Amino acid sequence: MSLLLTGATVIDGVSDTGITGRSILIENGRIVAIGRPDELSVPSDTETVDFSGKFIIPGLMNANVHLLVNALFETLVRYEGRYEDLIAEAAQVALKVGMTTVFDTWGPRRALMSVRDRIDQGELVGSRIRCAGNIIGFDGPFSGDFDSRIPGIGTSHFVDRINATWVENTGRHLMWLTPEAVGEEVRKYIELGIDFVKYASNEHGGISAGAFIQFSERTQRAIVEEAHRAGLTVQSHTSSVEGLRMSIEAGCDLVQHCNMTGPVEIPRETLELLAQGDCGAVVFPLTDHGLSHLKESISDHEWTMWKASDANARNLIDAGAMILLANDGGIFAPEVMQEPLIKGTWNGLPEEEALGRLATGHFVWLRAMEEKGMSPIDLLRAATRNIAKAYRVDDDLGTLEVGKIADMVVLDEDPLQGAKNYQSIHTVIKDGELVNRDALPERPILTADLPAPVEEQARYKRSLHHGERLPGCPTCVSGTH
């Protein structure tokens, strides 16, 4: 099939400005020509679409999503056996909002790879998925690395099965091994078919808030070397200034949420190290309004950490680091969003400020980085070209050039005139085909509304002591309940 796009201003991600008077000719899913209409040799059976007054940009990308982020006990029990359905739903939500390629950096490997392959083979509509499976060095969803409440609530059989689904041979036990032994286990994991490697330079959460180093310097280098030997990119999970520097020196191709370094800012020499090399800097920013809202519900210590992350984002821009858009984007079920577990966190912010939402978080990212001083063309490149370069897929993706895959977004408003204009999506094109956005997601699950109350709920009376303080109750007043 041939497709000719005419009339629009083309913002290709290569030039610093948009170009008018150019048409884009697509054949077999790739761009075969860009030029003035009278200069192009157009096949007779070509479909022409007039986008006069619109703006065409490369398909948006996201350097860090979790298509099954809702890895909570209730969800994993309710949908066991249907994890692929949840991932497919998320991939379709991502495509609907302009993300033609997403990189899933933590999730159940087998299910992710299955959906990835179905999309690549044209059996399923969705954003192009590339996945890492587990984060090397972390245990599963029901562990101290994520949610340690579940062992002892769920049966050990179910808890072990879920953790094994995520971890396989790549969990915390690797911390006890020599660099050579860790490299061997990483090699085995790569052979299962993952697209890139992600490992833990810092721990995930814990009482030290991520400050502890997960792997030694020698082991980190062994992991990086193993990934590169297999022709894959490698990235790290960092949350301290030392974990960040170790990752860069180990040879990582990108570092995740590198602006999150606890209560201290990234040293100038580390900023310069990032700017001088080819290591991509993934940034998680909040808007000024989002930060103000969050400040009202977190501790002083947490606020100190968020202030440092905000300063880091600004300093990374000033240093000239190759910044990548990412947001841990995922879908939580509507009932989960009502829980205290979410409220009071960055995921509990109002929809227009919540960075971690799959459907809207990338728009928050663009507005936040605009506020911090990032230029309009650098915003576009952070969401397209830089990600493709860091993941080494820039031969096919990231810019609008002849020979590349025809992934693009058509906007009603000029994105170079304001980050809010990225939300003016008119059309999404993936692999040279117009996406029917109205049909996505095809099978809503986590995006569906809460079910209507059953008859029994209308008659249900809560216990007087159901999480409430009652006037006159001695134990309520004293707080001993």
Q: State the sign of the Cα–Cα–Cα–Cα dihedral 188, 224, 128, 400.
A: negative
Taking each helix axis as running N to C, give the angle between helix 268-276 and helix 241-250, from 0 to 180 degrees, rounded to the nearest 10.
Answer: 30
**Mean pLDDT of the residues in the chain:** 94
Q: Which residues of 423-453 are buried (b: 16+ CB within 10 A; e: fewer)?
A: bbbbbbbbbbeebeeeebbeeebbbeeeeee
pLDDT at 125: 98
Span 30-48, average pLDDT: 95
pLDDT at 465: 54
Whether the pLDDT of residue 479 is over 70: the answer is: no
Per the CB < 8 A criterion, the answer to whether 189 and 133 are in contact is yes
Span 15-38, average pLDDT: 96
What pLDDT band is residue 464 in, cutting at 50, 70 and 90?
A: low
This model's pTM is above 0.85: yes
pLDDT at 466: 54
Span 327-355, average pLDDT: 87
Whether the pLDDT of residue 426 is over 50: the answer is: yes
Distances (CA, A) of 119 to 47, 91, 103, 192, 390: 24, 9, 14, 19, 22
pLDDT at 229: 98
Residues 165-174: pLDDT tens digits?
999 999 999 9
Tokens 């022409």 -> residue:
48
3-state secondary structure of 101: strand
Range with the poorest average pLDDT among 98-102, 150-154, 308-312: 150-154
CA distance 389 to 260: 22
Structure tokens at 261: 């370094």
pLDDT at 481: 40
DSSP secondary structure letters along 416-442: GG-GGGGG-EEEEEETTEE--GGG-SS
Whether the pLDDT of residue 470 is over 50: the answer is: no
CA distance 416 to 426: 16
Range with the poorest average pLDDT among 65-74, 89-98, 451-460: 451-460
